[in-house]
Chain A
């Protein structure tokens, strides 16, 4: 589902905005305006401010007295003490750092994932959810415990700005390790290309579910990794140096390869669904609203 202002949510355009803070704010606010309704929850705790009603929003929170005085519709906004702990697990392995396209006109998976992570941080913290961040390759690299303060957002965004590609991936192992460490139930957002043994990846994800975490997986791939649309004979090199290079004429392999990748993604989707894990397949040219919408749907279920 594409948002109404897709142009601003286009990953490439967004990535040119500069600081991650600005990117996150633009991305989220732009997205929210397009939704025509407030995604936030917890309006009943502590009054914070009025804000102008936006057509399309539910009318339940309109302050009619203010309307009577000012002849304008305002909504009463409250601070809420959240009970949601969200942890964003960002894969920074070497395979995430490569853009199969090449050139400056394409985002790498890591760049895309960083933008998405920043947006999610912004979105989560804006509604006072305690948000933490873990970067990993074959092991956890940086772990920021969940907090909900505005400073936490700055901290997370600053950290994301400095993220560098890591080494080999071991998604399954890392997810298992992290699942063991996270004793408090919450929302786990995995942003990765999941290039690892599918069985181990699924085992790791199930481990979170076993700990009764809510899990949403953003499976980020380069479009070329999905469709193999290369027009030149190429030598394909494993960025993580685990496999020997392959020389091939991609157009001969495309059909069989696409089938293999579809089967892989299909299996991940199917097994995630079986374990109530939200699986969101993305490519680096996918507009961010799809990812954000998926998150909001998940968040809505969590109440």
Chain B
């Protein structure tokens, strides 16, 4: 049973009134000396027993009457088996939410999960009366109504549903239920029902949005939610779980390893055949033996052709859930990465010059063949043009950047740019803490340590970070032998500490700034700061830091996205403003792309990637950048919530208004659940009958007729 106005149920406290009166009315009796007590006793025993029963009956009647009246006020509706006894007769506004997420593409013996969902919807719609109005909406992480308004023609609904197809997006029940409540705002009836037809695959739910949904449900007292599960058939799902690209910059002609993770959820060992495809060619093939519920990682060596983006996919032979049997990836093959070095204090000061070793670290030998093409720019001369042409900014001991430059740098970072900022000079603390960092992050430089307390060793605190993955333990141990004399400790509670000092405080800290990121070092690379420049790990560390930043953020390289998200790529430097901008979709069709010139550097954008595959941004019909789009991994989980758990999670405090439709027959389940109109009148009628009985019993007991009092109060 559900209550449309549950707040009235607080009135049940009034049931305590007759109980209170019952005990208060038991006054102290008067003492009477009475001779013929022997004649009173047998009568008294008999009568008092009967009287006690009658008084108890009277009390029960009064409590029941109050409860019935209060419950009637709370507008109860029957659900479950008893519901079939109650008549129907009121118009209801119904929203049918049909799960069209990627998981509904799973194949069954006959048809797909989505086909079965259609059948369930047909059964639900078939149970609606002529006066009911219905809206059907598909949902995944978005809600797609089939009609712009409620309709009363069930056949029309079913015909429209036949045309509908599931998408490749994730499941988001909060969005779905919120969308249904939005639709119900246009409903004509106060009696509202939301049917959710879904496999109820587990999906993440943000607590804030969930709380908002609970609040909306609470404010929709006439709305009930009915859950109809589409039962999946068991099968062993094989999937390409992930494709790992090298964390370093890739150069043409090199051989890189593309590692593919394959998983299966069966209870027995299973051989799978894995293919690696680049472009139209299959460049790798292997057979792997997967243990029960096991994951295997296999690396395909891949010789990288000329510079540019390389799109490919790892795929298995299709099983009954095809969307996760192929995973797309993009490998960025570059020639050189433009790095702008913003030079601050100490430049040209001999061994005190941090630039000396920094340049050596990023471009060893200054051969011009390294990964990074350095451009050293004095901080006070930097302008926006520099920022548009660089992928990584490296700043060392920057002071007095100027307000305009700082604003441009901040915009660059917030739009997705990256920066490595080294602070090791005792003179930079004030400017860094008061100007630079407050524009970007809550992190601040700690007090400067000048070596009087002794040297300080480094400890790698994030060995799983891409900067350090691939290093051997002895290499990291070598890094940890570095001793620094001059440094600033950084806070460990802001951002992510990659390396910290032995006596506390972060040495290398990664913080996000808008869409971009900054790696902040509490030291610089001058020889006077410590022996870091002389360490064998100096060069790899610098290369990794810059390489990581070059591949992080919004950069066109390595862009991986999920279906349902937007795509963006950095616009070509110096692009003709009138250039034709397009995106080639995985099916070969092209759609227009847009240019977002409000960010630095400007971006090419596609609002929505609707299917998995490789997307190519075209500039004047020539390929410029690639993006790989995959089906959300959450859709491959194949863990399904029990309706009861779903009811509690999404119903919140109003879980009673969320009902699971059990049983093989959706029509029968719906028939049972939808009844219940007029039960409040039934309760009032029953209360009336009980009032009459109460007055009769009260007369026999010799008590005041509470029924009359109650009627008076009600009137």
Contact = CB atoms under 8 A, between A and B. Distances in A.
Contacts of B42: 260
Nearest to A197: B38
Given A100-B32, A252-B51, A236 B27 contact: no
Contact of B32 (A109, A235, A240, A256): A235
B34 A98 contact: yes
A29 B361 CA distance: 147
A47 interface: no
Given A249-B51, A256-B47, A235 B39 contact: no
Contact of A243 (B27, B29, B31, B41): B41
> Could you tell me the dominant secondary structure of chain B's interface residues?
helix
Interface stretch (A55-63, A122-130, A204-212, A226-234): A226-234
A236 B39 CA distance: 12
Interface string B100-138: 000000000000000000000000000000000000000
Interface residues of B, number: 23
B35 A253 contact: no
Interface string B34-48: 111111111110111
B33 interface: yes
A251 B702 contact: yes
A247 B27 CA distance: 12
A256 B49 CA distance: 14
Contact of B702 (A195, A238, A249, A257): A249
Interface in B14-31: 27, 29-31
Given A249-B702, A261-B39, A236 B32 contact: yes
Contacts of A98: 33-35
Contacts of B702: 249, 251-252
Contact of A234 (B32, B38, B41, B43): B32
Contacts of A240: 35
Interface in B32-73: 32-44, 46-48, 51
A95 interface: yes
Interface residues of A, number: 36
B31 A195 contact: no
A248 B47 contact: yes
A254 to B, nearest CB: 9
Contacts of B29: 232-235, 247
Given A252-B702, A253-B44, A256-B47, A95 B35 contact: yes
A167 interface: no
A100 B31 contact: no
Interface in A124-177: none
A302 interface: no
A264 interface: yes
Contacts of A253: 40, 43-44, 47
A246 interface: yes
A239 interface: yes
B29 to A, nearest CB: 4
A237 interface: yes
B40 to A, nearest CB: 6
A239 B35 contact: yes
A109 B33 CA distance: 12
A257 B41 contact: no
B36 A261 contact: yes
A193 B48 CA distance: 27
A246 B45 CA distance: 9
A10 interface: no
Nearest to B34: A236
B31 A237 contact: yes
Contacts of B701: 252
A252 B54 CA distance: 12
A236 B36 CA distance: 10
Contacts of B40: 228, 236, 246, 248, 253, 257
Given A233-B27, A249-B702, A251-B702, A256 B33 contact: no
Contact of B44 (A193, A221, A238, A248): A248
A232 to B, nearest CB: 5
Given A235-B29, A247-B29, A225 B51 contact: no
Nearest to A101: B32
A102 interface: yes
Nearest to B46: A256
A53 to B, nearest CB: 47
B37 A238 contact: yes
Contacts of B43: 253, 256-257, 260
A230 B36 contact: no
B33 A264 contact: no
Contacts of B36: 193, 195, 221, 225, 261, 264
Nearest to B701: A252
Contacts of A248: 40, 44, 47-48
B44 A246 contact: yes
Nearest to B32: A234
B632 to A, nearest CB: 75
B30 A246 contact: no
Contact of A238 (B27, B30, B34): B34
Nearest to A195: B35
B38 A243 contact: yes
A246 B41 contact: yes
Nearest to B48: A248
Q: Which of A230, A233, A236: most chain B Cβ within 10 A? A: A236
Contact of A100 (B27, B33, B38): B33
A237 B32 CA distance: 6
A57 to B, nearest CB: 42
A95 B702 CA distance: 30
Nearest to A193: B35
A230 B32 contact: yes
A148 B332 CA distance: 148
Given A225-B36, A243-B38, A257-B39, A235 B47 contact: no
Interface in A16-64: none
B514 to A, nearest CB: 82
A234 B33 contact: no
A195 B30 CA distance: 23
A195 B35 CA distance: 7
A247 to B, nearest CB: 6
A193 B35 CA distance: 9
A232 B37 contact: no
B158 to A, nearest CB: 69
Given A248-B40, A248-B44, 7 more contacts: A225-B36, A240-B35, A243-B41, A251-B702, A253-B44, A260-B39, A260-B42
Shortest Cβ-Cβ A-B pairs, 7 listed: A95-B35, A98-B33, A256-B43, A236-B34, A260-B39, A233-B29, A239-B33
Interface of B: 27, 29-44, 46-48, 51, 701-702
14 contacts: A232-B30, A235-B29, A236-B34, A236-B37, A237-B31, A237-B32, A238-B33, A239-B33, A245-B31, A248-B48, A252-B701, A253-B44, A256-B43, A264-B39
